[in-house]
Amino acid sequence: MIIVMQQNATAAHIDGVISEIRKAGLQEHVSRGAELTIIGAIGDENKLDLAHFEIMPGVERAHRVAKQYKIVARATHPQGSVIRVRGIPIGGEQIQVIGGPCSVETQAQMDESAAAVAAAGCRMMRGGAFKPRTSPYAFQGLGVEGLEFFQRSARQHNLPIVTELMDVRMLDTFIEHEVDVIQIGARNMQNFDLLKEVGRVNKPVILKRGLSATISEWLMSAEYIAAGGNHNIIFCERGIRTFETAYRNVLDITAIPVIKRETHLPVIVDPSHAGGKAWMVPALAQAAVAAGADGLLIEMHPNPCEAWCDADQALTPAELKQLMTTLGAIAQAVGRSI
Amino acid sequence: MIIVMQQNATAAHIDGVISEIRKAGLQEHVSRGAELTIIGAIGDENKLDLAHFEIMPGVERAHRVAKQYKIVARATHPQGSVIRVRGIPIGGEQIQVIGGPCSVETQAQMDESAAAVAAAGCRMMRGGAFKPRTSPYAFQGLGVEGLEFFQRSARQHNLPIVTELMDVRMLDTFIEHEVDVIQIGARNMQNFDLLKEVGRVNKPVILKRGLSATISEWLMSAEYIAAGGNHNIIFCERGIRTFETAYRNVLDITAIPVIKRETHLPVIVDPSHAGGKAWMVPALAQAAVAAGADGLLIEMHPNPCEAWCDADQALTPAELKQLMTTLGAIAQAVGRSI
Amino acid sequence: MIIVMQQNATAAHIDGVISEIRKAGLQEHVSRGAELTIIGAIGDENKLDLAHFEIMPGVERAHRVAKQYKIVARATHPQGSVIRVRGIPIGGEQIQVIGGPCSVETQAQMDESAAAVAAAGCRMMRGGAFKPRTSPYAFQGLGVEGLEFFQRSARQHNLPIVTELMDVRMLDTFIEHEVDVIQIGARNMQNFDLLKEVGRVNKPVILKRGLSATISEWLMSAEYIAAGGNHNIIFCERGIRTFETAYRNVLDITAIPVIKRETHLPVIVDPSHAGGKAWMVPALAQAAVAAGADGLLIEMHPNPCEAWCDADQALTPAELKQLMTTLGAIAQAVGRSI
Amino acid sequence: MIIVMQQNATAAHIDGVISEIRKAGLQEHVSRGAELTIIGAIGDENKLDLAHFEIMPGVERAHRVAKQYKIVARATHPQGSVIRVRGIPIGGEQIQVIGGPCSVETQAQMDESAAAVAAAGCRMMRGGAFKPRTSPYAFQGLGVEGLEFFQRSARQHNLPIVTELMDVRMLDTFIEHEVDVIQIGARNMQNFDLLKEVGRVNKPVILKRGLSATISEWLMSAEYIAAGGNHNIIFCERGIRTFETAYRNVLDITAIPVIKRETHLPVIVDPSHAGGKAWMVPALAQAAVAAGADGLLIEMHPNPCEAWCDADQALTPAELKQLMTTLGAIAQAVGRSI
């Protein structure tokens, strides 16, 4: 930690800071400049509380220099992790496209969806049985029955399933129904009790970025899961909230190379929720692959006009299939495959 | 709902939209302009899904015109609601300042805090037993033991207690320990399962605004609680996330008159978390009262330098007492009391 | 325009609105719903002022339905415009990469830069002679001498030059020195007097998006230039300001397909300023091409460690050359060339 | 400056950084921690370029510790500056409310406005003759004729006038017409050529904060003016751009105590542009005074329904007068007068 003293800080102020540093078992290193004195605290920075230094008399401000995430940091696993979902690798040379509808509606809809997902060449499937909805009066998902419809359809095509867990009390049900990948939604990225619980199971977790979560907060949320023992974490960028109103969210493409540099874990992208309109999905999906994403979550519905939610962001089966071809060509251009 | 057709929309496109409107039991109203055709859907707008219209051929975009919140809307209770916490009114002529430390640390700290809160003239007390922390390695709160310390100290001064509920599984414990006001934190504003559960109990709830929640989303989260039967909701503005890095968050003072206009429920302000520094608290607290807030949540610690968390944002007992005097004068200037 | 009346609006309120609409020479169209009355104004919406309706008694709010930009709208030129810079097309099948240093420093540096830009396969060159700097104490650019250095070096390789105009009083100098493309920087996107002046000359203009400009404001700024008679406008997305602090700005990739849909004009991307670090540039540049950008502005310096400004975002000549190869493969994957 | 080395930085990397620091005439101070090495550069930090260190091999990142603004910093004038406008103090115990219409329309409108402003107890007047408008097709202001109308009306009540300068070429005209205070609008906060020019004249300048300008950038823009020799600068907070769409901008009340702490210059607030609706103005104006603002810019129109622009944000003369009474009581509560 670095503590910058105020210009008018006295010797007593400086001694106060030094004494606090030593009390925590660290060592100080004092740089006296013409204008400012700067004090470095050498040792385990986690033993120091930034806020405590910031209220000490004579202190201008304090900075942390060490990163607070450890297990997920790339330094612990420099070559990059590959997460396997029933044998399918996420984070390696092959890019995974996870297709499927926003929400599970009926057995027939899921059967059609699963067939279309497989036909397009995707190796995994998404679908929501529990839906986070802004309004209490909106469709909240089919619940457990939805999980059953989903699993039944997906198994016919040997597709591992990805679905969102919102309530910590449903975790056992997810395990009983053999959900392959647990998705933590954007609104729950800092639901710390939920993170702790999924940290205790041995299931891959897709951790969506919160609508206005910083990269650093997102990494710390992954660290919550990892600290519980579950290191099978996949980051998912899904658009951030900004001042722009012409589209739902702004897909933060820069997050891809940054997350890949900071952690050893894979990062995928959800272009459907980001833009909010089906016609934007191809451009965003293509950009994500070109920028180095390890996978995509893409909404597809056998009949978007009949979809029970987010109808305007789902691709048709034909559109998904065509997009897969373009994505394959881009993957190749960046030395990967799809 | 209003559906704006594209400039080149055909008669068949317009008929398609009309047919969808009628199918839902509403009536259409078509305005054909020189450049654009606009179709109004007359009737219960909740029966229509915006997204479905937006993907119909020939449609440029659709707008909702009715508000989606009903129970919390001012129209249902034009004169404004007063929420009572053990007889203490929130939302009336009297402004309530809820003081106390960020987190419960020890019995002695809570005893001192409660005495200082009462001495400053506050009628309610705050304190955290379960703490949402960005890092899994940070102090997570004393838990149930903390609730006990808190309750014991507060009762000596007959101060109702306000504390944060993070995990839906702890709700029964909160009721057993006779927590007077349940606080839902910013990170849980859209934890819909938690909102549903607190909607089922008969306890006042302080609903903090999410870090980047819009006014409309905040109102809808209150509607979740209200839809469960619990109408004792107090909004709490605590600063929003913006591009500015000179302070933790930007206190959104405009939210005060806007929430008061949109709902019949009270709105309070947390100046401590907003700015993140104790020296900013007086200016922000004064602004909140001048703008019409019904109360304040203010952090105070008997000894800020020893606080276990957020040390830099707590006032001392003496600072709180002095601030109460200024707030009293401002309250009077705007026709209220403290 | 659509005017939504308040729930309790009276017949007199409605008549007041109708009378205002008629006064402006438009016609009203009234939809009376169970809950709300909506009034459409049919005719030339530019004759109406939204704000005037919003303060009329009984009015809840008003919406514009027509777009305010006309000349730049795609509707006026559905097939898309190609801007030619000394014969080089921007906006067609071929993607243009404009390389060069952040600022002009010396004749030697510009000679080396021009050679490297041409060797990498770029057909145009960038470089700043007048620099917008946050601090008055920072290097402000070489000025006119810089234009001379730039032009001398670029001509040896027949590279048209792109450089930023900040001060309206320098426009004649830019024309005398035969600047090929005038760049309007992000900070000047709403310097309306500057926009009006470049609207009067017959030179291609690159209009950078303001740091927090909406798509709609950006289009209106282009309309300012177009309204003066100069339709040779190239949009340039360069990252927007958000809450994220891990990188300088967030490259808004979604803006690419959206601008292409709303206007007939080309859109290019500046990945160097967006991310702010050289190591992020390849991922962002690749994403931009995959998302449909018509070109790129990329910073390259013969020796980044010696650069006089933004040293950390410039590629080396070798890095630029290598990036061009990858970009070529991605361009092909999306049906274009480089 | 502090340079944080990467965990795997070698001795050669560290030597490289040290050598750069010495080359610039500063001294290094090296702190070797268990995990990280930190190098402090002691001396005049302005001689170092952050970006150059950030690209050196082995460097993780660099931080500035000294502030880049000098003349406007509070340290240079700890007791606070009072700017005088024809004898009226801004920045002292007395709070100044500057009232008037958004734009100058006619001589009669200005006569009525001036009378109402004076009658409400305001000592200065505002009005726009040159208007920055998003659309090229909107009313752009009366120009020089507007200045004449304004000056004629204001003089009858001995009110100094405040008006916006957009184009550097109009500065002489402003001086000839004896404009008392030059306003630099939000969109021109980083129009550096304009800042340099107003830095050369001896007139008070109101510097509005850019829509998404950080506190630090705002201070640096003031430093541009001050560096030219003109120290008569008044900051004006007018709302920032965020994700919220329920109101035009978010008035950043926290900026008031922060600017007062960082600089010796006064800060005023424009509640009219911030909220964008007349009904929000009283709450925001009251909050600003309670938070310590030195003045307010308030829009008032003799007949808002007839206003040529921003009709919905202007108070009536009666509303302004009533607001002045409440503001007086709040001013007193915080130890000031109005």
Residue by residue, what is the 3-state secondary structure of chain D?
CEEEECCCCCHHHHHHHHHHHHHCCCEEEEEECCCCEEEEEECCHHHCCHHHHHCCCCEEEEECCCCCCCCCEHHHCCCCCCEEECCEEECCCECEEEEECCECCCHHHHHHHHHHHHHHCCCEEECECCCCCCCCCCCCCCCHHHHHHHHHHHHCCCCCEEEECCCHHHHHHHHHCCCCEEEECHHHCCCHHHHHHHCCCCCCEEEECCCCCCHHHHHHHHHHHHHCCCCCEEEEECCECCCCCCCCCECECCHHHHHHHHECCCEEECHHHHHCCHHHHHHHHHHHHHHCCCEEEEEECCCHHHCCCCHHHCECHHHHHHHHHHHHHHHHHCCCEC
Chain centroid to CA D3: how far? 32
8 A C-beta contact, residue B163 and residue B150? yes
Which residues in chain C come in under a pLDDT of 70?
none
CB contact under 8 A, B334 and D286: yes
C-alpha–C-alpha distance, residues D203 and D233, integer Å: 9
CB contact under 8 A, B214 and D244: yes
DSSP state string for B22-34: HHTT-EEEEEE-S
Measured between CA atoms, how close is D25 to chain C, in angstroms?
17
pLDDT in tens, D43-89: 888 888 888 898 888 998 888 888 889 999 998 999 999 999 999 99
Average pLDDT over residues B299-313: 89
Name the average pLDDT for chain C. 94
**C31 contact residues in B (CB cutoff 8 A):** 29, 31, 40, 42
Tell whether the model's pLDDT for residue D35 goes beyond 80.
no
**C210 contact residues in A (CB cutoff 8 A):** none
With a CB cutoff of 8 Å and minimum separation 6, the contacts of C318 are none
C-alpha–C-alpha distance, residues D141 and A268, integer Å: 51
Q: Which chains touch C (3 or more CB pairs under 8 A)?
A: A, B, D
8 A C-beta contact, residue B83 and residue B266? yes
pLDDT at C309: 82
pLDDT at C143: 96
8 A C-beta contact, residue A255 and residue A209? yes
Can you point out the beta strands (E) in B153-289?
161-164, 181-184, 205-208, 233-237, 267-269
Measured between CA atoms, how close is B133 to chain A, in angstroms?
8
CB contact under 8 A, A246 and C289: no
Give CA separation, A147 vs A128, A185, A233, C75, in Å. 8, 17, 22, 46
C-alpha–C-alpha distance, residues D323 and A78, integer Å: 63
Instruction: Please name which of B232, B195, B243, B246 lies closest in space to residue B217, comparing C-alpha atoms.
Output: B195
With a CB cutoff of 8 Å and minimum separation 6, the contacts of A328 are A337, A338
**A34 contact residues in D (CB cutoff 8 A):** 42-44
pLDDT at C48: 87
Tell whether the model's pLDDT for residue B103 goes beyond 90.
yes
Instruction: Please name which of B195, B108, B221, B126 lies closest in space to residue B164, comparing C-alpha atoms.
Output: B126
Residue B246 in contact with partner chain C when CB distance is under 8 A: no
Residue D49 in contact with partner chain C when CB distance is under 8 A: yes
**D288 contact residues in B (CB cutoff 8 A):** 287
Average pLDDT over residues B156-165: 98
pLDDT at A85: 98
Model confidence at B321, in pLDDT bands (50, 70, 90)?
Answer: very high
Residue C66 in contact with partner chain D when CB distance is under 8 A: no
Give domain limits for chain A: 2-63, 74-333
pLDDT at A91: 98
Instruction: Please give the single-letter amino acid code of residue D250.
Output: V
Tell whether the model's pLDDT for residue B163 goes beyond 90.
yes
CB contact under 8 A, B42 and C34: yes
C-alpha–C-alpha distance, residues A187 and C243, integer Å: 17
CB burial of residue D50 (10 Å; 0-12, 13-18, 19+): middle
Share above pLDDT 90 across residues of chain D, in percent, rounded to a whole number? 80
Tell whether the model's pLDDT for residue A46 goes beyond 90.
no
**D250 contact residues in B (CB cutoff 8 A):** 240, 242, 250, 252, 254
pLDDT at D40: 87
Residue D7 in contact with partner chain A when CB distance is under 8 A: yes
Residue A187 in contact with partner chain B when CB distance is under 8 A: yes
pLDDT at D105: 96
- Which of A69, A235, A254 to probe the C interface (max C CBs under 10 A)? A254
Q: Which of A191, A227, A310 sits opposite B136 (nearest CB)?
A: A227
Q: Which of C2, C33, C40 sits opposite B43 (nearest CB)?
A: C33
Q: Which of C55, C132, C188 sits opposite D312 (nearest CB)?
A: C55
C-alpha–C-alpha distance, residues B156 and B60, integer Å: 63
Residue C329 in contact with partner chain A when CB distance is under 8 A: yes
The first and second tokens of residue C115, run together, are: 């050679």
Beta bridge partners of B85: B88
pLDDT at A1: 87
Q: Which chains touch D (3 or more CB pairs under 8 A)?
A: A, B, C
Residue B66 in contact with partner chain C when CB distance is under 8 A: yes
Q: Is B87 or B138 the better-scoring residue by pLDDT?
A: B87
Tell whether the model's pLDDT for residue A52 goes beyond 90.
no
CB contact under 8 A, C280 and A253: no
With a CB cutoff of 8 Å and minimum separation 6, the contacts of B58 are B5, B6, B8, B9, B10, B12, B13, B14, B16, B17
pLDDT in tens, A285-315: 999 999 999 999 999 999 998 888 888 899 9
Residue D217 in contact with partner chain B when CB distance is under 8 A: no
CB burial of residue C133 (10 Å; 0-12, 13-18, 19+): middle
pLDDT at A190: 97
CB contact under 8 A, A137 and B304: no
Q: Which chains touch B (3 or more CB pairs under 8 A)?
A: A, C, D
pLDDT in tens, B47-83: 888 888 988 889 988 888 888 899 999 989 999 999 9
Residue D158 in contact with partner chain A when CB distance is under 8 A: no
- Which of D45, D65, D248, D258 to probe the A interface (max A CBs under 10 A)? D65
pLDDT at C178: 97
pLDDT in tens, D218-269: 999 999 999 999 999 999 999 999 999 999 999 999 999 999 999 999 999 9
**B2 contact residues in C (CB cutoff 8 A):** 2, 38, 63
Measured between CA atoms, how close is B334 to chain A, in angstroms?
33
- CATH classification (class only), B74-333: alpha beta
**B34 contact residues in C (CB cutoff 8 A):** 42-44
C-alpha–C-alpha distance, residues D247 and B73, integer Å: 18
The first and second tokens of residue A82, run together, are: 């590959």
Average pLDDT over residues B152-166: 98
C-alpha radius of gyration, chain D, whole number: 23
Residue A217 in contact with partner chain B when CB distance is under 8 A: yes
Q: Report the relative pairing of strands D59-63 and D2-5 from DSSP bridges.
A: antiparallel
Residue C254 in contact with partner chain B when CB distance is under 8 A: no
Q: Which of D4, D63, D65 sits opposite A36 (nearest CB)?
A: D65
8 A C-beta contact, residue A222 and residue A190? no
Measured between CA atoms, how close is A66 to chain D, in angstroms?
8
Q: Please work out, in degrees rounded to the nearest 5, the angle formed at the alpha carbon of residue A259 by the alpha carbons of A255 and A260.
A: 120
- Which of C28, C38, C68, C245 to probe the B interface (max B CBs under 10 A)? C38
CATH superfamily of B2-63: Phospho-2-dehydro-3-deoxyheptonate aldolase; domain 1 (3.30.70.1140)
Share above pLDDT 90 across residues of chain A, in percent, rounded to a whole number? 80
pLDDT at A49: 86
Average pLDDT over residues A185-203: 97
Measured between CA atoms, how close is C70 to chain D, in angstroms?
10
Measured between CA atoms, how close is D158 to chain C, in angstroms?
31
CB contact under 8 A, B2 and C38: yes
Q: Which of C35, C42, C66 sits opposite B31 (nearest CB)?
A: C42
CB contact under 8 A, A132 and B169: no
Residue A152 in contact with partner chain D when CB distance is under 8 A: no
CB contact under 8 A, D304 and C55: yes
Measured between CA atoms, how close is B29 to chain A, in angstroms?
23
Tell whether the model's pLDDT for residue D33 goes beyond 80.
no
Q: Is B138 or A204 the better-scoring residue by pLDDT?
A: A204
Residue D309 in contact with partner chain C when CB distance is under 8 A: yes
pLDDT at D47: 85
CB contact under 8 A, B135 and A312: no
* Smallest CA–CA distance from A37 into chain D, residue: D42
State the alpha helices, DSSP H only, in A24-140.
50-54, 107-120
pLDDT at A205: 98
Model confidence at A331, in pLDDT bands (50, 70, 90)?
Answer: very high
State the alpha helices, DSSP H only, in chain C.
11-23, 50-54, 107-120, 144-155, 171-176, 192-198, 215-227, 255-262, 271-275, 281-290, 317-333
Model confidence at B43, in pLDDT bands (50, 70, 90)?
Answer: confident
Name the average pLDDT for chain A. 94
Residue C250 in contact with partner chain B when CB distance is under 8 A: no
Tell whether the model's pLDDT for residue B34 goes beyond 80.
no
Torsion from C-alpha of A277, A280, A286, A287, nearest 10 degrees: -100
Tell whether the model's pLDDT for residue D307 goes beyond 90.
no
Tell whether the model's pLDDT for residue D121 goes beyond 90.
yes
CB contact under 8 A, B250 and D256: no
The first and second tokens of residue C287, run together, are: 């994403």
CB contact under 8 A, D277 and C54: yes
Residue C224 in contact with partner chain D when CB distance is under 8 A: yes
